[in-house]
Structure 1
Amino acid sequence: MMSHYDIVVVGAGHAGTQMVFALTAGGFTGSIAIIGDEVTAPYERPPLTKGYLAADILSDELAFRGEAWWAGSDVERHLGTSVVAVDAKAHTVTTEDGGTIGYGTLVWSAGGEARLLRAPGAELDGVHVLRKLSDAEHVKRHVATARRAVVIGGGYIGLETAASLRKLGIEVTVVEALDRLLLRVTGDDVAAYLKARHEREGVEFLLGAGVSEILGEEGRATGVRLASGRELPADLVIVGIGLVPNVRQLAEAGAEVGNGVLVDKFCHTTLPDVYAIGDCVSFESDWVPDDRLRLESVQNANDQAKAVANTLLGKPQPYDALPWFWSHQYDDRLQTAGVLTGYDSAVLRGDPATGKFSVVYLRGDTVAAVDAINNVKDYAQSKALIGRTVPAGDSRLADPSVPLKDFLTEAQAA
C-alpha cells in the first residue's frame, strides 16, 4: 500500500532537517515524512572537515537531535534510501528500493554530491571526498597510518581539511588549478593571509596546477602526477573540487533548472506544490547583481527552511535573508557577511600581519560584503551595512579605529 503524507521532505541534511524542526515547532498538525539516503540519524556536516576529522568531536556529538526527540515526534523517517523519480502530476516520489510515497507538498532539500575527479586512478583506495559522515569515517581510518597527503582543491573544504590534517602531523600539499586560492569566494587580502597562515603550519601550495593522474600500486593510491609531469608522493588524497546539485529528478519531472533548481522568492519551483531549499537551489536574490544565487552554507539552509515552513504554516514571506558564512582554520576564524559577486573595489581595514583585520567589498558606493578575520566587532556591525551606500572614496573606511556602525548612521541620515 502506498503511504501518503501531507508534507514529504527529500533530503535529511541541514536544510531538510531544519525544515522538519521548523514545522513541528510552528505547530503543524499534518503528517510529515523525511527521506534521507544515509542510515545515520540527521547530523551536522560542517564539523566533518574540522573537529571531527581532527578527532576533537565524536560522531555522536554531530546529531541535530537525539533519538528520543525523533521517537517522541510524529515525523516518519525513511533513511538509507534516496528518491529516484518525482511524478509531479500524481504527487508521488519513487524511492530506490521501489517504494512509492504520495505527498500533498514536496520540499526538495537533496543538496548535492561531491564533484568527482575525472582522472585515471581516481577510484583507487586512499582517494576520498569529504561530503558525508561515511566519507569522513573512511578518511579517519586512513589518517592513522598516513604520512603524506595531497589535497586537490584550494577552496574552503580543501583548506579546512588541510588544517585538520596538519593538526594530526600529516605532511600536506594543496593542489589548486586556478592561480589563486578561494578565487570565487573571497578577495586577494584574505586569500593571501590564509595561504601564508597555512604555509607557516607547513602546508605546501601548488597553484595553477592540474592533475593528470592518481598513481597507485596494488589498488592503493601512492601519489599524484600533475599536468606538468611532477609527481607528488602521497598515501592519502582528498578531492575537494566542488559540489554537483542533486536536481536530476526534478528536471526529469519538468522543473526548470540551471545552476540548481530554479525557485521564486518563496522557494517554490516551477512544479505545483514542490518547494526546494538548500545547496541545490538557485533562488532570486537582491544581494547580487544578476538576481540569482546558489549558496552552499548553513545559514542559507536554515533560513530557507524557516521561510518555506512559514509559508506552509500560513505565514508566507519572501526569502530575503542576508547571506553569511564562516570558516575555522587552525585558530583563525573567518566570517563573511554578504556576497562578493561582482564587486568593484575592496577596502582593507587593519594590518593582516597582526592576525586581525577585515575587508569591505563595494559595488560602486554600495557595500556588497565584508570579510572579517578574527574581527568579531567588524563582522557584527557589517551585517546592517550590507546593501547600504558609503561616501565615495571615504578614507575613514580603511581606518579600523572608525567603527563600521558609524557609516550605517550616516547612510540612514542620508
Structure 2
Amino acid sequence: MSTVIVGAGQAGVHLAATLRQEGYQERIVLIGDEPEPPYQRPPLSKAFLLGSAPEHTLHLRAESFYRDSAIELLRGERVTWIDRPGRRVRLAGGTHLAWDRLVLATGARPRPLGVPGEDLGGVLPLRNLADARALREHMASARSVVIVGGGFVGLEVAAAFASEGGEAVLLEAGDRLMGRAVTEPVSRFFARAHADRGTRIRLGAGAAEFLGRRGHVTAVRTTDGRTHPADLVVTGVGVLANSELAEWAGLAADGGILVDAALRTTDPRVHAIGDCARFPSAHHRARVRLESVQNAVDQAVHTGRLIATGEVRSYRELPWFWSDQKGLKLQIAGLPTGHDHVQLLGEPGSGRFSTLVFRGGRLVAVESVNRPADHMAARRLLASGRELAPDRAAAPGFDLKAFTADTAELAV
C-alpha cells in the first residue's frame, strides 16, 4: 500500500523524510500544487525579499533527496477529491492514486479583505514564492507603500522596506500591533521601534477601499476616513485554513481540520498536520491551529512515527515561534493567549527584554526580544512542566536562565 501526502510544504516534506527515517518501506507520494521544488516560507518576508537569499537557498531538500529516498514528488498537481471508502484521491488531471494512509498538509491561504479594489494591480498578499517574487519586483520601484495588517508578516515587510531607505504607512484595524499574538508591552515596543525607523503606524484604521487608475492601485481609503497614496499595497490580515478538501470528504472541520490528540481526523486513517490542523493543545487546554515551522515539523515527525511504527501517542510538543524584523528578534515560547499577568525581565528601552506571561498563576509563555538565552531557558522550563510562581518571578534580580538551571539540577 502507500501513504499519500497532500501538501508539499514544511509539514509534508518533513513527514515524507520521517517515514523513511523510521524504516517505512511502502510507497510515498508527496503532492504539491506549486511548480517549484518544496521551499521554506519564513525567508520570503525577510532575506528573500531583501535579495540576500537566492531562490535555490530556500529549497527544503535537494531534488536528489526525493529520488534517493524513493519519494514520488508530484509538483504542480492538485488533489480535487478524496474517496474515503475506496481509499483513493483524484488529481485535477483525472489520475487516481490509492492510499492506505492519507495525510492532509494543505496549509493555509491569505484571508481576503473583502473591500472594493482588492483585485487592482499592485495590491499583493505574501504567502508563497510567486507572491514574494512579485512583491520584490514592485518594491524596487515603489514610492508610496501601504501595508495592511500589523501582524508578523506586515511588520517584517515594513522592516525590509525601511532597511532599503523607504517609508511605509502601516494600517492596523486593532488597537495594537500583533494584538492576537503578543502581550501589550511587546506590542508597544515594536510600535515604537518601527516608528523610529520611519514607518507611519495607524492603529484603529483598516482598509475600506483601494482606489486605482488604469487597473493599478493609486491610494488606500481607510475606515477612519483618510486617504493614503499608494503605488504598492501589501496585505497581511491573517490566513484561512485550507480545509475544503477535508470537508468535501465528510471530515470534521471548524476553523481548520479537526484532529484528535494523535493528529488523526474523524477518519483514523486520515491525518492532518501543520497550518491546516486544529488540535487539542496539551499546553493551552483548548483546540488551537498554529502557523509555525516548529509546529509543522514536530507534527510531521509525530505523524511519521505513528504511521511507520503503529504506536499511537498524544502530540505534546511545546509551541514556539519567532519573527525577525531586521535586527529586532522576537522569540516566543508557549502561547500568551488569555493571560492575566505579565512580568517584565529587563528594560524595553534597552532593546533587550523578556516578558513572563501568566494565566491563573501559572507560567504559560515567555516572549523574548533580543534575549535568546531567555528564550532557550523558557523552552526548557515550559516543556518540563515545572512551576514558576509570579511572586518569585517578580523578585529583584530574578534570572530566568539561572532559575531554569537550578530547577533542572533539583530534578536530577
Structure 1 equivalent of residue 403 of structure 2: 406
| Aligned-residue RMSD, C-alpha | 1.7
Does residue 393 (structure 1) correspond to residue 379 (structure 2)? The answer is no
Does residue 15 (structure 1) correspond to residue 11 (structure 2)? The answer is yes
Residue of 221, 241, 244 corresponding to 1:245:
241
Residues 93-128 of structure 1 show CA distances to partners (whole Å, capped at 9, x for unaligned) of 122222221111000000011111211110011010
Does residue 186 (structure 1) correspond to residue 182 (structure 2)? The answer is yes
TM-score by length of 1: 0.95
Structure 2 equivalent of residue 266 of structure 1: 262
Q: Structure 1 53/99 Cα, relative in aligned 2: closer, same or farther at 3 Å?
A: same
Does residue 301 (structure 1) correspond to residue 296 (structure 2)? The answer is yes
Q: What amino acid maps onto 1:304 in structure 2? A: Q
Does residue 31 (structure 1) correspond to residue 27 (structure 2)? The answer is yes
1:390, 1:47 → 2: CA distance?
A: 35
Q: Does the residue aligned with 1:53 lie in a helix, a strand or coil?
A: helix
Contact 1:349 1:398 in 2 (8 A): no
Higher fraction of helix: 2
Contact 2:362 2:389 in 1 (8 A): no
Does residue 140 (structure 1) correspond to residue 140 (structure 2)? The answer is no
Residues 268-291 of structure 1 show CA distances to partners (whole Å, capped at 9, x for unaligned) of 0002410010001000112114x2
Contact 1:254 1:271 in 2 (8 A): no
Moved more, 174-183 or 399-408: 399-408
Instruction: Point out where structure 2 has 5 or more consecutive residues left out of the alignment.
Output: none
1:46, 1:76 → 2: CA distance?
A: 25
Contact 1:347 1:398 in 2 (8 A): no
Alignment of structure 1 residues 73-88 onto 2, 5 Å:
73-88=69-84
1:63, 1:403 → 2: CA distance?
A: 36
1:76, 1:378 → 2: CA distance?
A: 42
Structure 1 equivalent of residue 204 of structure 2: 208
Structure 2 equivalent of residue 176 of structure 1: 172
1:107, 1:46 → 2: CA distance?
A: 23
Residue of 93, 96, 99 corresponding to 1:97:
93
Contact 1:357 1:374 in 2 (8 A): yes
Residues 331-378 of structure 1 show CA distances to partners (whole Å, capped at 9, x for unaligned) of 111111001122110001110111111000011221100001111111
Alignment of structure 1 residues 6-405 onto 2, 5 Å:
6-289=2-285, 291-314=286-309, 315-386=311-382, 387-394=385-392, 396-397=393-394, 399=396, 402-405=399-402
1:140, 1:210 → 2: CA distance?
A: 24
Q: Percent identity?
A: 38
1:230, 1:48 → 2: CA distance?
A: 30
Moved more, 404-413 or 341-350: 404-413
Instruction: Point out where structure 1 has 5 or more consecutive residues left out of the alignment.
Output: none
Q: Structure 1 353/310 Cα, relative in aligned 2: closer, same or farther at 3 Å?
A: same
Q: What amino acid maps onto 1:111 in structure 2? A: G
Q: Structure 1 140/391 Cα, relative in aligned 2: closer, same or farther at 3 Å?
A: closer
Contact 1:175 1:210 in 2 (8 A): yes
TM-score by length of 2: 0.95
Q: Structure 1 411/60 Cα, relative in aligned 2: closer, same or farther at 3 Å?
A: closer
Contact 1:128 1:237 in 2 (8 A): yes
Residues 279-324 of structure 1 show CA distances to partners (whole Å, capped at 9, x for unaligned) of 01000112114x2111000000000000000001114432100000
Q: What amino acid maps onto 2:302 in structure 1? A: A
Contact 2:302 2:315 in 1 (8 A): yes
Contact 2:126 2:236 in 1 (8 A): yes
1:70, 1:410 → 2: CA distance?
A: 44
